[in-house]
Amino acid sequence: MPAGVPCIGVVVVVEMNKHDLEAVPMTATPDRRHLALAVPDLMERRPSVRVADVVEVTYSSSAQSESGMPVPNGVKYRGYVAVVRKDDILVHVPQELQSNHRDNESLYDVRFFLGRVMEKRKHHALHLLESQVEWLFPSPLGMGEVSRILLSVSPKVLKSAVEDSSNVGPLLNEEQGKAFQDIIRLTELSIGGGGKAKSKGRAVPPPYILHGPPGTGKTTTIVKAICYIYKRYPSSRILACAATNSAADSLLLGLVGCGITSILRLNAHTRPLDGLNPVPEEVMRYSNRHSGGGFQTPTREEFLGHRVVVSTSCSASGVWQAGMEAELYSHVFVDEASSMVEPECLIPIACCLHPQSVVVLAGDPQQLGPVVHCLLCKGMDGSGRGGGLEMSLLERLMTSEPSKSIYMNGLAQDGGCGPVPRFFATKLVRNYRSHRAILELPSRLFYNNELVAESNVQLTSSLCRWAELPNKNEFPILFHAVDGTAMRDEGSPSFFNAEECAQVVRYVEKLLADQTLGLRSAEIGVVAPYRRQVQKLQHHLHNKLQFDDIKVGSVEEFQGQERRVIILTTVRSDPAFVQDEYTQNIGFIKNPKRLNVAITRAMHLLIIVGNPKALKPDANWRKLLEYCVDNHAYVGCPLAEQQL
């Protein structure tokens, strides 16, 4: 079991105290349902304030003297964070405080406390799985027997499944088809055509892992499998989860689009209906009931009325809270599994795990994993490689023994019985989004040179003739070397680089000024590793130039998204400072997953703005520099040959 679970709450509470505020005003929202509170460096501090965290509000001792209004001394009002925005939060407070509030007059002292609901759910999941050690740490022993049973599934069943799946949505490629058939084999082993459990007493199959880089169709494969199981196996019940509300909504709409009608979107009580990320109208049609205070947990009868439930992993605990027995669910699908801490990923599994369960995990262990702030929780070396919480369940199964032998060797060993075919993992390698030149380097660095560009060449080459590209021969990548200075504003821990910021803005203006490209501002994304650089760029692009549709954000904010154009600014400029961070195993440049995420967001054009002297100490960044130099895609300050 991952180390450090008990200490997470303690560490987060200590860090959250840094957000506490004194003598601050709040502003009532137009509907007067919430009070808006500006929180300095909201997105920069880690951990940040989250929805459902507890807020304790008292009238500031200076409130009466400054405003002249009477205030109840010492009264503490407890509320919760309803919405988190870029620079402020919306707080739900008791009616008494809301009624007496006056904009710009009332002053408050505000304290933040960890909302423990999520942590309690994680602990409960671990408790439920105490007796499932063999499933949590699967061994190759016995997998030969399971594989032989899977191999015996009728070819007619598999052929019929593939033919049926081709009637709705895009056709599956070879790797997707293999994964689809593997899941059907596991379904036959579990419930079979007659809906009765088969082969009791045998070893329990491990979780099935569907992995691969962005744009390879993991979610499409999951949707196809769920739709077929729903139609072909009437006794099936499926819990489908993702890490975020937006991903869960997309999963829901994909399932509805393929004809699933008995489906419920399970939303957390605290999910806001409107605000920055409102609940889409088409999602509300399938959602649990909403009253004035929030979404209501469905009853057992309501769950029984829907064969497919879609939720975030954390909200999946509603299934257990409603009294649904684990045996009622035949399948659990978890998308984005590599981005969750292991206990979070285990919440839906713990609610539904039984000997005939089919569990499918989808994700990419080469992309950003869970965000963990406590060094003790990360692992022995602070990197997550020591078995800590920074390693997701999916990554642990694929990289740690004994389960590594099941997933990575291609063969399952069963004592002296020899090798048998592998049915427990599939790697998707065909990318349908990006230009082949953009894929080539991440393929080489992170995916064993296996990625195949399958996108529309005419579309992905649409920006290859842009006037600013030094190499216009099907190489839509540009590294612009800037010898700038990374600075920090007084009182801020975050870096910005004015020279790089100016260069990014110049490229944005040139791209949108070139009418031959047919580029819209919403198709450009700007990635920066430091919050202050993000804020500087947002000021220039949004406030000054009115390019409001251009998303500017951190690497984490772009994970799971893509744009036709990605401009990456690396900010750091002092090689000595970067080298110090590098040796301490910290910082943006040291993290290969951040590099992978940043460059794979681009579909048709990738621009990197940075200081090569600061980047070259890292082997992966040095290979990126070499890749650009070798393909005549390097511009800016001269790069001496010996620097590489």
- Is 395:365 a contact under the CB 8 Å cutoff? yes
The pLDDT, as a whole number, for residue 379 is: 60
Q: Determine the topology of domain 8-118 in CATH.
A: Elongation Factor Tu (Ef-tu); domain 3 (2.40.30)
- Phi, psi (5° rounding) for residue 80? -145, 160
- Residue whose structure tokens are 């000997």: 355
Over residues 387-443, the pLDDT tens digits come to 678 889 999 999 888 888 888 754 444 433 344 457 899 999 999 999 999 999 999
What whole-number distance in Å separates Cα of residue 235 and Cα of residue 364? 31
- Residue whose structure tokens are 């580029």: 519
For residues 577-581, give the mean pLDDT.
56
For residues 291-295, give the mean pLDDT.
78
Helix (H, G, I), strand (E, B) or coil at 265: strand
Cα→Cα distances 283→305, 332, 334, Å? 18, 21, 19
- Phi, psi (5° rounding) for residue 611? -100, 110
Q: Is the pLDDT of residue 607 over 60?
A: yes
Helix (H, G, I), strand (E, B) or coil at 567: strand
What whole-number distance in Å separates Cα of residue 394 and Cα of residue 619? 26
Burial class (CB in 10 A: 0-12, 13-18, 19+), 431: buried
For residues 483-495, give the mean pLDDT.
82
Helix (H, G, I), strand (E, B) or coil at 631: coil
DSSP-assigned states of every residue in 391-424? S-HHHHHHHSTTTHHHHTSSEEE-TTS-EEE--S
Domain ranges of the chain: 8-118, 436-636
Q: Buried (b) or exposed (e) across 489-527, using 16+ Cβ within 10 A?
A: eeebebbbbebbbebbbebbeebbeeeebebebebbbbb
- In this structure, are strands 358-363 and 208-211 parallel, antiparallel, or unpaired? parallel
The model carries a pTM of: 0.84
Query: Higher model confidence: residue 639 or residue 586?
Result: 639
What whole-number distance in Å separates Cα of residue 109 and Cα of residue 63? 10
User: Residue 527 is inside which H or E element, if any?
Assistant: strand 524-527
Over residues 159-213, the pLDDT tens digits come to 999 888 888 778 999 999 999 999 999 999 888 743 344 445 556 788 999 999 9
Burial class (CB in 10 A: 0-12, 13-18, 19+), 642: exposed
What whole-number distance in Å separates Cα of residue 178 and Cα of residue 205? 17
For residue 199, the 8-state DSSP code is S
Q: Is the pLDDT of residue 284 over 50?
A: yes
Q: Is the pLDDT of residue 484 over 50?
A: yes
The pLDDT, as a whole number, for residue 188 is: 92
Name the amino acid, one letter, at 190: S
Name the amino acid, one letter, at 5: V
What whole-number distance in Å separates Cα of residue 440 and Cα of residue 98? 56
Helix (H, G, I), strand (E, B) or coil at 310: strand
Q: Could you give the angle at the alpha carbon of 194 between the alpha carbons of 189 and 199, nearest 5°?
A: 35
End-to-end CA distance of the chain: 43
User: Residue 475 is inside which H or E element, if any?
Assistant: none
- In this structure, are strands 107-113 and 54-59 parallel, antiparallel, or unpaired? antiparallel
- Is 392:340 a contact under the CB 8 Å cutoff? yes
- Phi, psi (5° rounding) for residue 561? -120, 170
**What CATH code is assigned to 436-636?**
3.40.50.300
The pLDDT, as a whole number, for residue 194 is: 36
Helix (H, G, I), strand (E, B) or coil at 48: coil
pLDDT band at 294 (very low <50, low <70, confident <90, very high): confident
- In this structure, are strands 524-527 and 486-487 parallel, antiparallel, or unpaired? unpaired
Average pLDDT, the chain: 85
pLDDT band at 69 (very low <50, low <70, confident <90, very high): low
Q: Is the pLDDT of residue 342 over 90?
A: yes
